[in-house]
Chain A
Amino acid sequence: MAVIANARRLNADVTRIDLDAPHIAAKALPGQFVVLRVDARGERIPLTIARADAQSGVVTVVVQRVGKSTAILSDMKTGDIILDVAGPLGTPTHLQSGRCAVVGGGLGCAIAWPIAAALKREGAEVHMIAGFRTKDIVILEEEMREDSSALHICTDDGSYGFKGFVTDKLKGLITGGVSFDRVYAIGPLVMMKFVSRLTKEYGIPTVVSMNPLMVDGTGMCGCCRVTVDGKVFFACVDGPDFDGHLVDFDETMRRNTAYAAFEKARMDEHICRLTGESRGAEHA
């Protein structure tokens, strides 16, 4: 059980939640995650830890509204109670000094940010590349600027910062003469796939943070299995970080659609109950 010490919207779909969980805050390392269950009917939701402060005992997660469970979590308020919080889970990110690019996409920036901060503490020169669809959904800009050596914000539509994808920006930096020792990519699978494809061309070691479907998050069920270099690994215990040049992204993208129909039906039902409108009718 954990009390929400603070909940606030970062953009229309993304909420930052600070949880009062001192035992987890004391042990959490960058790249690890927690599993939350909002109530007794809820599913186990894995969320990467965005920030953990051992002193205040606060563990921060950032959640995006994608299905019913994350919608319910996103609508929770300061002072609300989350029934179950387990963590820290997963293997921490392997940090290395030198010159790094940390590439975040959308919500992934919430996880890329603490990796950048940790790398900077390790003495690395950190170029943070943060990609968003458009200006309105840019999150954590100040935090990322603070915790990197250089911040490059990209928007797909050019409404803010660099116009283009994170891969365009990364390629520009590389061809412009910045030699990276390592790249960390955290965001949608398709983004991590294309970042990895690019860095492979240039021979830059690349770490990606995989986000497959999960049930228990403790290595017990194998739902989160990913194929890396032809071998099967469990993202919850062996990862979530893997070598981006060896991951089979297409497989994970396909596996993540396993329950799409169920998730859509639940979300429609949820919206219907909240607003009294049926999504089906809207589209008809």
Chain B
Amino acid sequence: MPNMQLNKTPMPEQSPDTRNTNFTEVALGYTAEQAKSEAERCLGCKHKPCVKGCPVGVDIPAFITPLKSGDADTALEILRRTNALPAICGRVCPQETQCEELCVRGLKGEPVAIGRLERYAADSAVPKALSGAAPTGHRAAVIGTGPAGLTCAGVLAAAGVEVTMFEAFHTPGGVLIYGIPEFRLPKAVAGREIESLKDMGVKIETNMVVGRVLSIDDLFARGFGAVFIGVGAGLPTFMKVPGESLIGVYSANEFLTRINLMKAYEPDAETPAPVFKNAAVVGGGNVAMDAARCAKRLSGGNVTVVYRRGEAELPARKEEIHHAMEEGIVFKFLTAPVEILGGDDFRVSGMVCEEMELGEPDASGRRRPVPKPGSRFTVECDCVISAIGTSPNPLLRQTERGLEFDRWGCVVTNPDTGETSRPGVYAGGDISTGAATVIKAMGAGKIAAESMIAYLAGK
């Protein structure tokens, strides 16, 4: 008999007042009992609506079935057939707008907690060493070691392609390492997934800034038969308001990189952490939530999220918004920054904002916020974090003449195949689409890898 309880089995988590003072993981994961009970909520629909919501097509009912009898090993094996990074996806995917949105149980009550079950399977199964297929003798280069590149490398390696990945930073993982904080995705979890790729024979060269130290021509000359570009959208956008050069104004990328990649919050790290009492974060996406929650943990002061649309329009994952609110982050909706104020010391002393109201729908179909006259007020803060989006990394656009880019700086890519304008060169993830999600990048990495396998075989 399925478990007909209307709500998801709650996942234990650190209490808000404890967790907002530490960087360890907020959500603690299901116990075996809880996982079993939640798995029982899955009706195992024949037509599997949930699978249509998954960018990598995980066979969701198939992996949940063994969890009903507590068999995490089989569940992980099924997950791994379509998803190279289940421990990561279980934590960071926006399930509520993907698989879970289409779950039949969601028609009356809450959908099955697919993400939590995925995480449970990945965390508690005894990992089986993965091995690549028999070597085909083909070699491929993957530029960037974020979600798109890691997925692409995993699919290629599983098909017997010899893969070398190139990472510009000193640590692989891309946004999983520099962007998403420890309390949401522990570095050890991302590290484990990367290690399992290495076990399959994938090589990773760090500190290699492709475009500068190596060109795509160099990669072909080194004997790689195909190249995948997954360098992401790492170029931060600032708000273009007066005062942005004051000390204490950060892009979310800088703020998060100092904390996540450079571990500046640890006492013996040599990279300075931002020092402030109260912070204002501008933006409403996952990055804004990550920055706000890191700011709270660093300073213990007031942290205000300023977002120009309403609560319903917040693009962040529901769980992150909920967690942020629980942790004492204050939200100012329908509010936009006008100017950042500074003192004689050239440091931030406040941020002037104005209230907005929603007008006619804009090109994105969302109602455009327009300023309300006479509504200006000042948020007291000595730190401002701009989390209003990023654009594609510009380096390859500047250095690679043979590739076509669109006017937003994205590599022009066929979404069905990952092909770019240059034969043998494929792309996917944020460098092709602009800033999106981990799972969408993974989906694109997988599609490109399949095309690359066919291309290499036909050479």
- Which of A's residues lie within 8 Å of B, judged by CB? 23-24, 27, 32, 37, 41-44, 68-69, 83-89, 215-216, 218-223, 225, 227, 232, 237, 251, 254-255, 257-259, 261-263, 266
| Contacts A86-B208, A232-B244 given; does A215 touch B268 at CB 8 Å | no
Contact of B247 (CB < 8 Å), options: A85, A216, A257? A257
Q: How far is the CA of A251 from the CA of B254 in the complex (A)?
A: 19
Contact of A27 (CB < 8 Å), options: B212, B236, B253, B398? B212
Q: How far is the CA of A223 from the CA of B236 in the complex (A)?
A: 10
Interface check B104, CB cutoff 8 A: no
For A259, the chain B residues whose CB sits under 8 A away are: 272
Contact of B209 (CB < 8 Å), options: A42, A89, A223, A262? A89
* Bitwise interface map of B from 46 to 76 toward A, beta carbon under 8 Å scored 1, else 0: 0000000000000000000000000000000
- Chain B interface category by residue count: 35 or more
Contact check, B206 vs A84: say whether CB atoms are below 8 A apart. Answer: yes
Contact check, B257 vs A215: say whether CB atoms are below 8 A apart. Answer: yes
Contact check, B234 vs A219: say whether CB atoms are below 8 A apart. Answer: yes
Q: Which of B248-275 contact A (CB under 8 A)?
A: 248, 250-251, 253-254, 257-258, 261-262, 268-272, 275
Interface check B15, CB cutoff 8 A: no
For the complex of A and B, the 10 pairs showing the least CB-CB separation, nearest first, are A221-B254, A86-B207, A259-B272, A84-B170, A220-B234, A254-B346, A222-B251, A43-B271, A262-B272, A43-B270
Interface CB pairs A-B, < 8 A, 7: A41-B268, A42-B270, A44-B262, A68-B270, A221-B251, A227-B245, A237-B398
Q: B208 CB to closest chain A CB, in angstroms?
A: 7
* Bitwise interface map of B from 351 to 364 toward A, beta carbon under 8 Å scored 1, else 0: 00000000000000
Query: Which secondary structure dominates chain B's binding surface?
Result: loop
Q: A51 CB to closest chain B CB, in angstroms?
A: 17
Contact check, A220 vs B236: say whether CB atoms are below 8 A apart. Answer: yes
Interface check B394, CB cutoff 8 A: yes
Contact check, B271 vs A220: say whether CB atoms are below 8 A apart. Answer: no
Query: Other CB < 8 Å A-B pairs besides A83-B170, A89-B212, A220-B236, 4 of them?
Result: A41-B269, A43-B269, A69-B270, A218-B234
Q: How far is the CA of A219 from the CA of B452 in the complex (A)?
A: 29
For A27, the chain B residues whose CB sits under 8 A away are: 212-213
Interface check B183, CB cutoff 8 A: no
Contact check, B393 vs A43: say whether CB atoms are below 8 A apart. Answer: no
Nearest A-chain residue to B266, judged by Cβ? A41
Contact check, A219 vs B395: say whether CB atoms are below 8 A apart. Answer: yes
Q: How far is the CA of A43 from the CA of B209 in the complex (A)?
A: 18
Contact of A219 (CB < 8 Å), options: B250, B270, B393? B393
Contact check, A215 vs B270: say whether CB atoms are below 8 A apart. Answer: no
Contact of A215 (CB < 8 Å), options: B213, B271, B275? B271
Q: A257 CB to closest chain B CB, in angstroms?
A: 7
| Contacts A215-B257, A237-B394 given; does A87 touch B238 at CB 8 Å | no
Contact of A222 (CB < 8 Å), options: B214, B236, B270? B236
Q: B21 CB to closest chain A CB, in angstroms?
A: 21
Q: A251 CB to closest chain B CB, in angstroms?
A: 5
Interface check B235, CB cutoff 8 A: yes
| Contacts A37-B170, A41-B270, A262-B275 given; does A86 touch B209 at CB 8 Å | yes
For A261, the chain B residues whose CB sits under 8 A away are: 275
Q: How far is the CA of A84 from the CA of B207 in the complex (A)?
A: 7
| Contacts A44-B262, A68-B270, A221-B254 given; does A232 touch B238 at CB 8 Å | yes
For B178, the chain A residues whose CB sits under 8 A away are: 216, 220
Q: A36 CB to closest chain B CB, in angstroms?
A: 10
Q: How far is the CA of A82 from the CA of B234 in the complex (A)?
A: 26
Q: How far is the CA of A275 from the CA of B262 in the complex (A)?
A: 28
Contact check, A220 vs B235: say whether CB atoms are below 8 A apart. Answer: yes
Interface check B220, CB cutoff 8 A: no
Q: How far is the CA of A215 from the CA of B260 in the complex (A)?
A: 12
Interface check B169, CB cutoff 8 A: yes
Q: B258 CB to closest chain A CB, in angstroms?
A: 6
Contact check, A215 vs B170: say whether CB atoms are below 8 A apart. Answer: no
Interface check B125, CB cutoff 8 A: no
Contact check, B257 vs A216: say whether CB atoms are below 8 A apart. Answer: yes
Q: How far is the CA of A115 from the CA of B258 in the complex (A)?
A: 32
Interface check B168, CB cutoff 8 A: yes
Contact check, B213 vs A220: say whether CB atoms are below 8 A apart. Answer: no
Contact check, A220 vs B257: say whether CB atoms are below 8 A apart. Answer: yes
Q: Which of B184-214 contact A (CB under 8 A)?
A: 206-209, 212-214
